């Protein structure tokens, strides 16, 4: 249901306080023409109420020729910040950036984070921000899971639908998202609540069955029929099933790039206020559907690039695929049992 402007400002005050914004700090609000003006204004107002020095940075939109649709998670590559040194310098000067336009991970953004600047992404609709307003328990839940994933050597995912996928871990870092940016150089996303890493190169092997009801992002559809993915040495080699399998095959083939079939981040959802059902109540352009990525006990599988953590796979096509009812084992320890988080 609609959220008032007053409530939106209060929520931003809460999240910026969790993000440790102090009166001595500078807060930059990053926006473009397609940013939600209510979110931009609420971020401004909240930062001011906390006594911070606040300023805006507006960047032009960027439409890569091969991108389809409006979902910013669908296409990885250059961002409006690429090559824009002056804007980068203006953003590096901030202690915290509220990103209302969604800069996907880029070398420029990584450079900003390296200076100690924190970044908080906030692009979902206000009612989604309200339902998943972060708190300290969200952080504790995710950081407890991080202790398990951080030093893990192997992840295995099984399901009654027929999944049995194994991958080695350790080559790439573990990333946590809990909804606020409270450490120097931290990037986070409100709303969120999950963690992930990337399989070691060439080690993911097995079968992943995307079952009826599982979600394909950025298509924002619930599968009506199972899709069988065969995965060999880190790449999807076969996509079989009904209509959704055919759609996925066609979409990935459109990029004409063998690297789209690589396995990207893998992890599990830990946000009890995120709902598997929420996507059905929203239009596709409402947001990026963090409910699907974060709902408690999902296995979040993805395809495509791994350059954001120093890998070499640079491909524009990125699919996030949250699955239900999976069992996720990390070094033999069950962390999700048939879609239920093991505390």
CB-side neighbour CA atoms (13 Å) of 68: 10
Compare residues 106 and 302 and give the one whose CB is closer to Fe ion.
302
Least distance in angstroms from the C-beta of 53 to Fe ion = 33
Maximum C-alpha span of the chain? 57
**Site track for Fe ion across 92-121, x = CB under 5 A:** ------------------------------
Q: Is 303 in the site for Fe ion (CB under 5 A)?
A: no
Tokens of 176: 């946590």
Nearer to Fe ion, 79 or 88 (CB): 79
Number of residues that bind Fe ion (CB under 5 A): 2
Q: Check residue 302 for interaction with Fe ion (CB under 5 A).
A: yes
Residue 218 gets which letter from DSSP?
T
| 320 contacts Fe ion (rule: CB under 5 A) | yes
Q: Which stretch binds Fe ion (CB under 5 A): 11-19, 282-290, 319-327, 334-342?
A: 319-327
User: Which residue's CB atom is positioned nearest to Fe ion?
Assistant: 320
Half-sphere exposure of 265 (CA within 13 A, CB side): 23
Q: In angstroms, what is the minimal distance from the CB of 343 to Fe ion?
A: 25
From 89-97, 112-120, 235-243, 301-309, span contacting Fe ion (CB under 5 A): 301-309
Residue with smaller CB distance to Fe ion, 87 or 288: 288
- Least separation in angstroms between CB 265 and Fe ion: 6
Q: Where are the beta strands (DSSP E) in 200-318?
A: 205-210, 215-216, 221-222, 227-232, 235-241, 266-269, 299-303
The H or E element containing residue 335 is strand 333-337
275 binds Fe ion, rule: CB under 5 A:
no
Span from 59-67, 234-242, 282-290, 302-310 in contact with Fe ion (CB under 5 A): 302-310
Shortest distance in whole angstroms from residue 189 CB to Fe ion: 11
**Measured from the CB atom, is 182 or 320 closer to Fe ion?**
320
Helices 85-92 and 107-114, axial angle in degrees (round to 10): 30
Listed ranges 32-40, 93-101, 278-286, 314-322: which one lies at the site for Fe ion (CB under 5 A): 314-322
Cα 236 from chain centroid (whole Å) = 21
Kindly state the smallest distance separating residue 21's Cβ from Fe ion, in Å.
27
- To the nearest whole angstrom, how small is the minimum distance from the Cβ of residue 73 to Fe ion? 6
Torsion angle, alpha carbons of 249, 252, 254, 255, to 10: -160
Measured over the CA atoms of residue 114, residue 120, residue 123 and residue 128, the dihedral's sign is: positive
Residue placing its CB nearer to Fe ion in the complex, 71 or 108: 71
- DSSP for 73-113 reads TSB-S--TTTT-HHHHHHHHT-SEEEESS-PPS-HHHHHHH
- Interface residues with Fe ion (CB under 5 A) are 302, 320
């Amino acid at each position: 249901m609609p959220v008032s402007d007053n409530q939106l400002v209060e929520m931003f005050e809460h999240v910026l306080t969790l993000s440790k914004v102090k009166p001595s700090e500078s807060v930059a609000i990053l926006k473009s023409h397609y940013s939600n003006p209510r979110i931009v204004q609420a971020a401004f107002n909240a930062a001011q109420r906390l006594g911070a020095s606040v300023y805006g940075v507006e960047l032009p939109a960027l439409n890569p020729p091969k991108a389809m649709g409006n979902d910013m998670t669908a296409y990885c590559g250059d961002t409006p910040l690429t090559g824009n040194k002056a804007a980068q310098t203006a953003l590096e000067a901030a202690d915290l950036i509220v990103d209302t336009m969604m800069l996907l991970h880029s070398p420029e953004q990584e450079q900003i984070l390296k200076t100690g600047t924190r970044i908080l992404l906030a692009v979902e609709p206000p009612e989604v921000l309200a339902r998943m307003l972060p708190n300290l328990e969200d952080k504790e839940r995710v950081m407890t899971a991080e202790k398990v994933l951080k030093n893990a050597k192997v992840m295995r995912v099984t399901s009654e639908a027929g999944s049995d996928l194994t991958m080695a871990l350790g080559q790439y870092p573990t990333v946590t998202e809990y909804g606020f940016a409270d450490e120097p150089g931290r990037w986070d996303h409100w709303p969120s609540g999950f963690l992930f890493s990337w399989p070691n190169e060439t080690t993911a092997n097995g079968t992943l069955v995307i079952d009826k009801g599982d979600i394909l992002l950025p298509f924002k559809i619930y599968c009506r029929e199972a899709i069988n993915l065969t995965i060999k040495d880190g790449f999807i080699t076969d996509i079989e099933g009904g209509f959704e399998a055919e759609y996925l095959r066609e979409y990935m083939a459109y990029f004409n790039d063998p690297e789209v079939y690589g396995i990207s981040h893998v992890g599990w959802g830990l946000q009890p206020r995120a709902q598997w059902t929420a996507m059905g109540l929203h239009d596709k352009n409402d947001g990026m559907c963090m409910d699907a990525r974060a709902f408690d006990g999902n296995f979040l599988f993805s395809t495509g690039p791994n350059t954001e953590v120093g890998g070499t796979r640079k491909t524009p096509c990125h699919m996030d695929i949250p699955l239900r009812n999976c069992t996720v084992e990390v070094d033999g320890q069950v962390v999700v049992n048939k879609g239920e988080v093991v505390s």
